[in-house]
Structure 1
C-alpha cells in the first residue's frame, strides 16, 4: 500500500521525504511536499500517515497547524476522511467479509493499515452513516463491526 501511495504522489507531482522528526510528529504536508517521520517502524503505519498527508494535498488550504481554530479542525477532519476512504473504502469491508476475515486484527492486516487507523476509520464511518449502511446486497454494521448479506 505504501509503495502504491508513493507512486500516486509522485504521479501527482508531490515529493515525499522520510526524515527524522520529533516522535510527536508523524507527518507534515506543505506546498506539494510531504515529510514522513523516518522513525515510524511499519509500512502500514507509514501508509496511513502518507494517506492523511495526501488528504491534505487534496483537501486543505493554508497553515492549519493551530488546531484551536475550528476551521483548521474541519480541514484536518476532511483530510483524515479522505485517507479513510482512500485506504479503507466501504467496499473493502464487504470484500474482507467475502474473504472470511474474522476480526479487526485480520481486517487491519487485510487492508494493510494500522489497527488504530482502522478503529478511527470505523468511528468516522459510524459518525457519517449512523450504526449501519447498505452497499449492494450487504449491510455493514459499525458497532459491532460486521457484514450481513441480504437475499434478493
Structure 2
C-alpha cells in the first residue's frame, strides 16, 4: 500500500470522503469542504497526490469555516496550520531524522525516502525554519534549518 492509499484509508476511517475531480483551473490541486476532500484527477504521481491529500486532511483537522479568501489574516493562519499538519503527518522532525539515519544525503534522497515531492519537502523545511528558527534539538539529534537542512547526532 503506497502513501496515498494509506492516507485515503485514514481519511475513510475518519469518515472523510476523498474524490477525484477534473478542476478547470490548473492552480487548484485539492479542496476540503464539510468532510469531503476533492483532489485534481490528473495529478501525475501518487506521491504528489499524497502531499495534496495530507494538506487537505490538515484542513479537516485544523480549519474552521470558509478560508478561501487569503486577504484575511485568520484565513492565512488557518492555511499555514493545515499545511503544518500535513508536513508533520508526512515528514515530521522524526522523518527527517529517519532519513538521516537511512543515509540520505540531499533533498532529493530525503524526499524519495519519505515519499514526498521535493517541493513539499522544501516547503516543509521553510515552514519548520519559520517555526523553529536556526535549529531544533530532538532526542539526540540537532536539526539545522539555516543556512540549509543539516542533521547531526549529538554525542
- Name the residue aligned to 1:10: 12
- Name the residue aligned to 1:26: 29
> Which runs of 5 or more residues in structure 2 are unaligned?
none
Q: Distance in 1 between matches of 2:153 and 2:144?
A: 11
Among 56, 59, 84, the alignment partner of 1:81 is 84
Q: Report whether the alignment pairs 1:109 with 2:112.
A: yes
Q: What SS does structure 1 have at the residue aligned with 2:103? A: coil
| Number of equivalent positions | 151
Among 140, 150, 153, the alignment partner of 1:146 is 150
Q: Distance in 1 between matches of 2:132 and 2:68?
A: 28
Q: Distance in 2 between matches of 1:72 and 1:50?
A: 19
TM-score, normalised on structure 1? 0.97
- 1:88 offset after TM fit, Å? 0.7
> Which runs of 5 or more residues in structure 1 are unaligned?
none
Q: Distance in 2 between matches of 1:27 and 1:125?
A: 23
Q: Report whether the alignment pairs 1:39 with 2:42.
A: yes
Q: Distance in 1 between matches of 2:68 and 2:139?
A: 39
- 1:92 offset after TM fit, Å? 1.1
TM-score, normalised on structure 2? 0.95
